[in-house]
Structure 1
Amino acid sequence: MKLIEILNEMTNHPFPNKKQLTIKNSDGNDVGVECEYAKTPEEKMTGVLGMSSMCENCGILFDEISPTYYHMQGVKFPLDMVFCDDKGTILDIITAQPDGDNVYPPSGSHFNIEVNGGFCDNNNINKGDVVYIS
């Protein structure tokens, strides 16, 4: 059995830790996101593996990201990956496709939020907008 298949079977969602995010979008409106908080190394490694979808305003928060990459192998739906600096300013938004190419965080990234693909376009969330974590 491939590692991805094993991880899919072992992944338990939702993760036990939660964070509420508010994104101040380009219109000045607040967009709330209920996030599972990928806190442990195992949670960070599995991310959305094992999930067939996320609710409309749900996501996964990854903090303290390392200068590595995010893989899409085994992921079942498109994701918007929102990379932010240490002040919460959005540095880049990358839409990743299921089983697509690896995604590399931009320089200066401190945390990443993964939401459904198209979420940022639908909510007018762009580079330069700010994310607040509570």
Structure 2
Amino acid sequence: MGILHGLRALAAAAVMVLAVSGTVQAACSDSRVDLRGDWGSARFRVELALTPEDQARGLMFRESMARMAGMLFVYDRTQQLGFWMRNTLIPLDMIFVDETGTVVKVHAEAQPRDETVILSEVPARAVLELNGGMAAVLGIEAGDQLRSPAMPQDGSVWPCD
């Protein structure tokens, strides 16, 4: 419970800083993803998984991940996506995003080593994996918006500057 409380406190502090300063202002970067919703906005440092090899490996075998970090998987086309947790050692939240950058599904607290396939249920273009519990701490939900230069910019609800 102590780790989750610390995670919530850090995330709340990050949201408060962003809420006070307004929306996320800095230009887009390949190493960051911005999320915004009714709860405010947040920035995560991310690794990109763009190749089939990177996507197959994902966050497997990692024993930890920084609190405000994640991995963004971006696919060439919009489709139903499925993920599992084989060889993944840390709990993850999976944020499924369509081609406009709109969050279409949040799967919270995917369990380490579970081989149950987690489906987007609707067509998606990308998945942002965050530390398990982060979506609940921030209030991330369907309808929120994500921006990244790795995502299509034409038709984006929140394009990069």
TM-score between the two structures when normalised by the length of structure 1: 0.80
Match of 1:122 among 137, 145, 148: 137
Deviations 1:74-96 (A, max 9, x none): 11111100001111111000121
Matched, 1:34 2:45: yes
Residues 24-103 of structure 1: pairs in structure 2 closer than 5 A? 24-27=36-39, 29-64=40-75, 66-95=79-108, 96-100=110-114, 101-103=116-118
Cα distance 1:108–1:67, how it changes in 2: closer, same or farther (>3 A)? closer
Question: 2:87 is matched by which residue type in structure 1?
Answer: G
Question: 1:115 is matched by which residue type in structure 2?
Answer: L
Question: 2:113 is matched by which residue type in structure 1?
Answer: D
Question: 1:116 is matched by which residue type in structure 2?
Answer: N
Question: Contact conserved, 2:79 with 2:123, CA < 8 A, in 1?
Answer: no
Unpaired segments of 5 or more residues in structure 2? Answer: 1-29, 150-161
Match of 2:34 among 15, 22, 38: 22
Work out the percentage of aligned pairs sharing the same amino acid: 26
Aligned partners of 2:37 and 2:67: how far apart in 1? 16
CA RMSD in angstroms comes to 1.5
Correspondence for 1:3: none
Question: Contact conserved, 1:44 with 1:62, CA < 8 A, in 2?
Answer: yes
After TM superposition, where is structure 1 displaced by more than 6 Å over at least 4 residues in a row?
Answer: none
Correspondence for 2:10: none
Name the stretch that deviates more: 82-91 or 101-110.
Answer: 101-110
Structure holding more helix per residue: 2
Which entry has the higher C-alpha Rg, 1 or 2?
2
Find the residue that maps to 2:146 and give its secondary structure: strand
Question: Contact conserved, 1:26 with 1:126, CA < 8 A, in 2?
Answer: no
Residue 121 of structure 1, CA deviation: 0.8
